[in-house]
Amino acid sequence: MTGNKFKLGVLVSGRGSNLQAIIDAIERGEVTAEIALVVSDKKNAPALERCRKHGVPGVFLDPKSYPDKRRFEQALAGLFKERSVELVCLAGFMRILGDEFIHSFPERILNIHPSLLPAFPGLDAQQQALDYGVKTAGCTVHFVGREVDAGPIISQAAVPVWDNDDVESLSRRILKEEHRIYPAAIQALIEKRLTVSGRKVTQTNNTESETL
């Protein structure tokens, strides 16, 4: 890996299929970055195995070895800063980040959520969508702000909900879209094609845009 590439930090807790989508997009040259560090708050997260397979640095940072959430997040921010991380991507990270961490990476933390926000924030978004009876579900890439699943929206993708869907079938359909729109949003940010104005994010398709 070269030293002058755009540096991503990725936070995971589990399966890591979105991490895999980012790794694959980098390997295909569609995301022009390197993953400087993946941090998992779960020791046995399959996401860490994906790191090993692809030669991506991945570590387990144990929240229990810190006196409180703030110290844990200070350590997390420290690890990313040491590696000059420019963008933090949450990819199935099952913790709510505090203000101090968020302020350490202003407008430089992204999340992917498996619903069309602002509908169905929080846990079990796909089940929430099924229970509500919506006919269209989807996923959202957004900046992370102080409120959970509520930062400015970068991109969304919709999928149909079929009468015979269960949480597995709907999640699978949504996940396919997640894997498409997350790397694309990351690349748009890297290319400075995103402009944030209040809640609104505008995206241009060329490199002559205003910078973020």
Residue numbers at the binding site for ligand GRF (CB under 6 A): 14-18, 91-92, 112-114, 139, 175, 178
Q: Between 30 and 68, name the residue whose CB sits nearer to ligand GRF.
A: 30
Q: Which residue is nearest to ligand GRF (CB)?
A: 92
Q: Between 9 and 92, name the residue whose CB sits nearer to ligand GRF.
A: 92
Q: Between 179 and 191, name the residue whose CB sits nearer to ligand GRF.
A: 179
CB of 151 to ligand GRF, least distance (A): 13
CB of 164 to ligand GRF, least distance (A): 21
Two tokens at 147? Answer: 């409120």
- The residue annotated as part of the active site, out of 103, 113, 142, 179, is 113
Active-site annotation holds for 142: no
Q: Between 91 and 161, name the residue whose CB sits nearer to ligand GRF.
A: 91
CB of 152 to ligand GRF, least distance (A): 17
CB of 209 to ligand GRF, least distance (A): 27
Distance CA 166, CA 115 (A): 15
DSSP labels for the chain? Answer: --TTSEEEEEEESS--HHHHHHHHHHHTTSS-EEEEEEEESSTT-HHHHHHHHHT--EEE--GGGSSSHHHHHHHHHHHHHHTT--EEEESS--SPPPHHHHHHSTT-EEEEESS-TTSS-SS-HHHHHHHHT-SEEEEEEEE--SSTT-SPEEEEEEEE--TT--HHHHHHHHHHHHHHHHHHHHHHHHTT-EEEETTEEEE-SSTTSPP-
Whether the ω angle into residue 57 lies within 30 degrees of 0, i.e. cis, is no
CB of 211 to ligand GRF, least distance (A): 28
Q: Between 129 and 191, name the residue whose CB sits nearer to ligand GRF.
A: 129
Distance CA 13, CA 44 (A): 9
Q: Which residues are catalytic?
A: 113
